[in-house]
Every structure is written in C-alpha cells, then in structure tokens.
C-alpha cells in the first residue's frame, strides 16, 4: 500500500501532536493511583468537542440501541433500513482488559453496521484488577453464545456470525474463536483481529524498537498484563495467550490488522504466521504510519479509513 512523502509527513505530524495531547490528558496505566477516577476520564474525553473529532462519530443511517447480556450492558448498532435477517458481528473493545468501553470503538462498529449491512453487538465485560483473568474471557464467551441464541430475535442470522476486537478486544475475539471451535460452536464465519494482544509474556522486536510509542508503551503493556492476570500471572493457558494454543487449525478465516508504529505489531504478525502454519485462512495487512489504537482514532490517523475499507470488504466476503 504505497504512501507518498506528503502523506507520510501529514501522518507523522498528526501523530506527534496527538502524542503531546495524550501526555497532557492521560497517564500511563503503570502511573495511575485511582483507577476508578482514571476510567471516568475516558467518557468525558469521548464526549468533549475534541474527543468527538479524535474518536469519530456514529455512522449515518445507523440505529443505536442497548441491551443486557447476563446483567451487563451491550451497545447494538444496526442499519436503519435493512431487509433481514442480517449477519451479526460481536465486537470487543480494547483497553488492556483494565479500562475502555464500547463507545470508544463506535466509529468502527457503526461503520461496519452501515456498510456491511450487519448487526454489531459490542458488549461490556468485567475489568481487571477487580475482576482478573479469566473474567473478561468468560464474559466475552457468554456474550457470543447469548447473541448466537438470540440472533433471530435481534433480526440476525445465527448462521452468519463473526467476532471482532481491537487490542485487548482482539485477544478476546481470538479466544472466543478458539472456544467456539473447542466447545462445539457457535459456528463463526470470520474473526477480525485488530492489533491483537495474543502473547502475555514474550518480548518481541517491535516492543523493543517501539518501547516509547504513542498510545501504548512497553511499560504500559507489562502493567496491563500484570493487572489483568493478577494471581494467575504465569499461566500459559491459550485463553490468556491464544498464540500458545496447541493448535490453531479449524478456526474461522481471520483478518489480522497491525500498525507499523505499534509495539504490538509482532503479536499480530506472529499470530498470522501461526494461523497460516495451521492451515487457517488469514488475511494480513500492516498499515504504514499507523499507531496503536488507530482504528479508534480516525481523526488522528487517516489510514484508519483505508483499514475500515478492508474490514468492510472482508466481512462482506465472509458473511
């Protein structure tokens, strides 16, 4: 995907400005003392004028609702005008398993709903350290199975299901795909893994090279993992690190998206390699000039629009 010099310059300038802004409004998770107060800042930023420009808005022509899954909130985006039943995508937000909410991904999820013609369900899941591993994985799994069981009621097609997620949410999407294979369904047609965290412990070259990158640093990564795993730090379970699964065969086709300037880059690249080695169909794209979290930052990283096109194309093909 060629990028000319002017595009590179614009992306670099936006990234630098955003990194400076981020340092003014946000602390690294390893520096946070009051986690509850820290979490409360994100919705305020999202709803502010600058936040709306950074995170993007809900797509036109989409209806947004909420429902409850096992007592937890889920945000639902669907086309305002559609002829059902529609394919259904369960999408998990990022945030290091410690923070975040479905609204931070609403640009991506609502655009998928509008352009794919799908129902996109974005569930809340319990956060660490109050609810350490495997709480988030169990909530992600229960959300998928609930959606599969109630797809018809939602106006969806239970035979056209996919999972999607970014960062920690990409981890949860990969884990639910593994569980669906190993626990007898639901049958999935696709997994969209956006800069996924698939390995808890190993340090890969991209993390060393980009240790102080914007949005996510090596220190952040290590703190998130410690908070998430808690007393189970050291577990080699594939429900923590899907890259450690005994086999990645028999999984639904995957689309793995990575960012060139992301310390998690090699997580995604190695998962691609492992999927391919197991015979699982995988599409892989590394987006030049992109930083971690870029699919939630369309106002900062213009290449997010290109990545969205690729996600839409993949889901249209597979669903």
Complete domains list, the chain, with CATH:
5-318 (3.40.50.1820)
Which among 110, 122, 167, 296 is annotated as catalytic?
A: 167
Which among 110, 139, 266, 292 is annotated as catalytic?
A: 292
Q: Is 93 a catalytic residue?
A: no
Q: What is the pLDDT averaged over residues 136-157?
A: 98
- pLDDT at position 19 over 80: no
- pLDDT at position 12 over 70: no
Which among 93, 262, 266, 296 is annotated as catalytic?
A: 262
How many other CB atoms are found less than 10 A from the CB of residue 71?
6
- Separation between Cα atoms, residue 119 and residue 78, nearest integer Å: 5
Q: Is 262 a catalytic residue?
A: yes
Burial label, 234 (beta-carbon count in 10 A; 0-12, 13-18, 19+): exposed
Extract the runs of DSSP E, i.e. beta strands, from 70-196: 72-79, 86-92, 119-123, 156-166, 190-194
pTM: predicted TM-score of the whole model, two decimal places: 0.93
- pLDDT at position 25 over 60: no
Least confident of 165-169, 212-216, 251-255, 306-310: 212-216
- pLDDT at position 10 over 80: no
- pLDDT at position 261 over 50: yes
pLDDT for residue 36: 85
């Amino acid at each position: 995907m060629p990028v000319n010099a002017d595009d590179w310059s614009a992306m670099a300038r936006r990234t630098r400005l955003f990194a400076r802004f981020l340092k003014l409004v946000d602390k690294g998770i390893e520096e946070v003392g009051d986690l509850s107060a820290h979490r409360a800042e994100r919705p305020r930023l999202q709803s502010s004028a600058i936040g709306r420009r950074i995170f993007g808005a809900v797509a036109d022509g989409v209806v947004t609702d909420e429902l409850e899954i096992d007592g937890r909130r889920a945000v639902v985006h669907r086309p305002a005008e559609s002829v059902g039943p529609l394919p259904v995508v369960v999408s998990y937000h990022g945030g290091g398993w410690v923070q975040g909410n479905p609204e931070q991904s609403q640009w991506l999820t609502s655009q998928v709903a509008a352009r794919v013609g799908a129902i996109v369900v974005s569930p809340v899941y319990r956060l660490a350290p109050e609810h350490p591993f495997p709480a988030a994985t169990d909530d992600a799994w229960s959300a998928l199975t609930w959606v599969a069981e109630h797809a018809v009621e939602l106006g969806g097609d239970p035979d056209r299901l996919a999972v999607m997620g970014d960062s920690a949410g990409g981890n949860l999407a990969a884990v639910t795909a593994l569980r669906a294979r190993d626990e007898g369904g639901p049958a999935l047609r696709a997994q969209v893994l956006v800069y996924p965290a698939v390995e808890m412990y190993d340090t890969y070259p991209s993390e060393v090279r980009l240790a102080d990158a914007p949005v996510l640093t090596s220190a952040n990564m290590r703190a998130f993992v410690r908070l998430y795993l808690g007393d189970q730090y050291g577990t080699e379970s594939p429900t923590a690190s899907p890259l450690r699964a005994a086999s990645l065969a028999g999984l639904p086709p995957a689309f793995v998206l990575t960012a060139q300037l992301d310390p998690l880059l090699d997580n995604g690249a190695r998962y691609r390699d492992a999927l391919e080695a197991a015979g699982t169909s995988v599409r892989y794209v590394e987006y030049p000039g992109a930083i971690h979290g870029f699919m939630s930052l369309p106002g900062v990283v213009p290449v997010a629009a290109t990545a969205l096109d690729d996600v839409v194309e993949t889901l249209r093909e597979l669903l």
